[in-house]
Structure 1
């Protein structure tokens, strides 16, 4: 609840900026707290940030602590409500009986943070105080972080805090009705027998009280660290920190070139999806579309499939520790069942499942990086014809940047589809324009990997939609 609320907050007030949403009330995040930035499996994913129990002075050599100059100002007053409704009806006709299943679910997340303040460190003074200072390279935190690749030190330079006690409220209503006779059972669940006109319902209302001076979001100064402990503060947003042993990726000549090369490197993953049986792909696309209706479900699915190293060792993901509604767990479990990850599998099947699982991780990672609005619009475009249009436009933007409207793949680009598609690409730093009989695509030069993230999501979903 708290992590979702802070993520929504950052998307509203600083979308694409430097603020990082706090993920847990249990984390103590003060100014100059040392935070470990963990780069993710896919390089374009937003990193994970792990606040530590240490502040900057703890890992500095010498006995003289740095005393930062801090400015506190009023930020904003924030109250946000997010929610949605899902309703489904399924009719099944058998020789001796007819069954109708109806399911309804509504959810609402209300974040009442009230008036918030911003605390900032005087960076210029911090620079002066850092002159001739070095890190204690023998410190346990420094040693452990240095040993793990793709990890970077950052120190908190700014944080958004609450000024009074506030709350986050989550309300979920689930209702299911069955006409006819039906028996549901599972290996770990008690048997449930629904007689004619039976009904199951569940309501939950959870309130989380947030104390005063709680950190809602923060931003970092990353550290570029030399072998001898000397360090530099990364003052520009496009400058990344790290230890001196870390390598640097060469820059590509153009945005289009870079996008094309990165998509080509991921092409094998898309092929693993398109090689699945037609019925499996059809069902998988349907289930992923359902999961896309709820931002929390995407993150939960990510949590299930993210431990790739364990899966490569033959371990299977489990839903026991995933915090979701019953309906969300059902959708996620249906996806895992489709990939044959729930039962015992032969080694060849396990290898194939692992390859498909990595491809699924690729898609869900991209979906999880999207904003709430972008994800909602993409969910409206998950039909066969529209996904074919989107895939053509991805090909367009990664190559020469224009296509004739007469192309067979663009036949479904109606006015309604065009408006959704234009918004979708614009929200991912790309522009879509019609110029006479030609459609043109262009990548806007903005920091981040939004164009690549959207293109990966489209390519992945389109791989499932082929010949469905």
Structure 2
């Protein structure tokens, strides 16, 4: 709830900028706080930022502390309300069974942060004070961070804080209707079993935020040498790191192999081709596993906080650790939905897909999809959640092929029959939210990737292809 509110705030006031939303009220973020930036497993994922209990002075050698010059200014007055109605249905027909899931949600998140202030460090003085200073390379924080790859130190150079007590209010109304049928007739008479159920739930939660609570911050990364000498990375396109990591650096998963001058379509196509094993593995899973995974994804996608918690849990499993859902602030139903996905992954065991020397596990494939969900905006997730019927997913998968191909398809193509009315409007909005324009022109449909920073077109294509792979029935 708090994490969603701060993420919405940053998206509104500094989209694509330097501000980082605070994800937990337990995080104490002050000026010069040391924050560990952790790069993720897939190159399109935003880094994770982990505020520590230490500031720059705590990890310096010598007794003379750095006393920064700071400035406080009025920032903005912010009150935001986000919400809407989400309604969708999922129908799956298998050899001897049918599954029907319908949902209707109404949610509203009101963030009344009020007047906000910005505190910032005088970077020029900090640069002068840092000359000749050395980090204590034996400090436990430095030692533990150096042991793990893809970790970078940063220090907080500015933060956005609340100037008065404020609140975050969340109102949710949820309704679910589930139905299923099983029929079999190896001999007469025909036997048919059906089961139906419904669930409704309302919640209203108010969170009071005290004065001087940090809701967002910006960092200066540190480039750290072997001997503890460090430099401040003053340019936004300059990244920090430990010099001792240089010989062992490895590329992140899924890094594009496309040449720099290739077209956006070509780069997207090459990235998707590198991930094709994952989609094929998902489509080859048993029907019951695919159906259950798709249903659970449908539930989790309705809550951005639950999506992030699922992504973190799967990432822990990929790193060989046991996920602890108790570490995340969620409702009991959200934890149950996430646990159901984790159980399905474990139930699949060590099913693997091997092609052209690559080896892909179910865990990696499911982690791939969840990573795409986690990078999509709340708006994209909401619209995508309304497009999970088999026909619509088949249509959107064809449009993904169009985006990564010639950018044009005849409307008469098999599979595009669902691209009418509300489905077209939703799909057009979904693609536009991911920097892809979708337009009908005569008897053809055309797609074009907009020249915007980031990896939203790739992220959307991964999410669509992953869901479409689970929707394939055998």
Instruction: Name whichever of 378-387 and 229-238 sits farther off.
Output: 229-238
Displacement of 1:399 in angstroms is: 3.7
Distance 1:458 1:385 in 2: 13
Distance 2:103 2:282 in 1: 30
Instruction: Call closer, same or farther: CA 1:261–1:6 in 2, change over 3 Å.
Output: same
Instruction: Call closer, same or farther: CA 1:26–1:296 in 2, change over 3 Å.
Output: closer
User: What secondary structure, in the 3-state scheme, does the structure 2 residue paired with 1:115 have?
Assistant: strand
Distance 2:417 2:223 in 1: 51
Distance 2:139 2:444 in 1: 60
Distance 2:133 2:159 in 1: 24
Alignment of 1:308-457 (within 5 A): 308-309=317-318, 323-336=329-342, 339=344, 341=346, 349-352=348-351, 355-414=361-420, 416-434=422-440, 438-457=444-463
Instruction: Call closer, same or farther: CA 1:445–1:59 in 2, change over 3 Å.
Output: farther
Displacement of 1:272 in angstroms is: 1.6
Instruction: Call closer, same or farther: CA 1:425–1:128 in 2, change over 3 Å.
Output: farther
Distance 1:279 1:394 in 2: 26
Displacement of 1:105 in angstroms is: 6.7
Alignment of 1:115-134 (within 5 A): 115-134=115-134
Alignment of 1:40-439 (within 5 A): 40-83=40-83, 107-172=107-172, 205-244=204-243, 245-246=245-246, 247=249, 252-253=259-260, 254=262, 255-309=264-318, 323-336=329-342, 339=344, 341=346, 349-352=348-351, 355-414=361-420, 416-434=422-440, 438-439=444-445
Displacement of 1:149 in angstroms is: 0.3
Distance 1:252 1:63 in 2: 50
Instruction: Give 2:38's aligned residue.
Output: 38
Instruction: Call closer, same or farther: CA 1:258–1:237 in 2, change over 3 Å.
Output: farther
In the alignment, is the contact (CA less than 8 A) between 1:304 and 1:322 conserved in 2?
Answer: no
Instruction: Call closer, same or farther: CA 1:459–1:46 in 2, change over 3 Å.
Output: same
Distance 1:203 1:394 in 2: 37
Structure with more relative contact order (C-alpha pairs < 8 Å, separation 6 or more): 2
Displacement of 1:13 in angstroms is: 2.3
User: What secondary structure, in the 3-state scheme, does the structure 1 residue paired with 2:76 have?
Assistant: strand
Distance 1:371 1:61 in 2: 43
Displacement of 1:281 in angstroms is: 2.4
In the alignment, is the contact (CA less than 8 A) between 2:89 and 2:388 conserved in 1?
Answer: no
In the alignment, is the contact (CA less than 8 A) between 1:308 and 1:358 conserved in 2?
Answer: no
Displacement of 1:235 in angstroms is: 3.0
Instruction: Name whichever of 156-165 and 43-52 sits farther off.
Output: 43-52
Instruction: Give 2:188's aligned residue.
Output: none
The TM-score, its normalising length taken from structure 1, stands at: 0.79
In the alignment, is the contact (CA less than 8 A) between 2:68 and 2:126 conserved in 1?
Answer: yes
Alignment of 1:22-37 (within 5 A): 22-37=22-37
User: What secondary structure, in the 3-state scheme, does the structure 2 residue paired with 1:351 have?
Assistant: coil
Task: For residues 183-210 of structure 1, give each alpha carbon's deviation from its aligned partner in whole angstroms, at most 9, with x where no partner exists.
Answer: xxxxxxxxxxxxxxx9998765443322
Instruction: Call closer, same or farther: CA 1:199–1:221 in 2, change over 3 Å.
Output: closer
In the alignment, is the contact (CA less than 8 A) between 1:303 and 1:322 conserved in 2?
Answer: no
In the alignment, is the contact (CA less than 8 A) between 1:88 and 1:102 conserved in 2?
Answer: yes
Displacement of 1:365 in angstroms is: 1.7
Distance 1:132 1:443 in 2: 48
Displacement of 1:433 in angstroms is: 4.4
Displacement of 1:387 in angstroms is: 1.9
In the alignment, is the contact (CA less than 8 A) between 1:11 and 1:371 conserved in 2?
Answer: no
Distance 1:248 1:125 in 2: 35
Instruction: Give 2:355's aligned residue.
Output: none
Instruction: Call closer, same or farther: CA 1:89–1:159 in 2, change over 3 Å.
Output: closer
Instruction: Call closer, same or farther: CA 1:238–1:446 in 2, change over 3 Å.
Output: farther
Q: CA RMSD in A?
A: 3.6
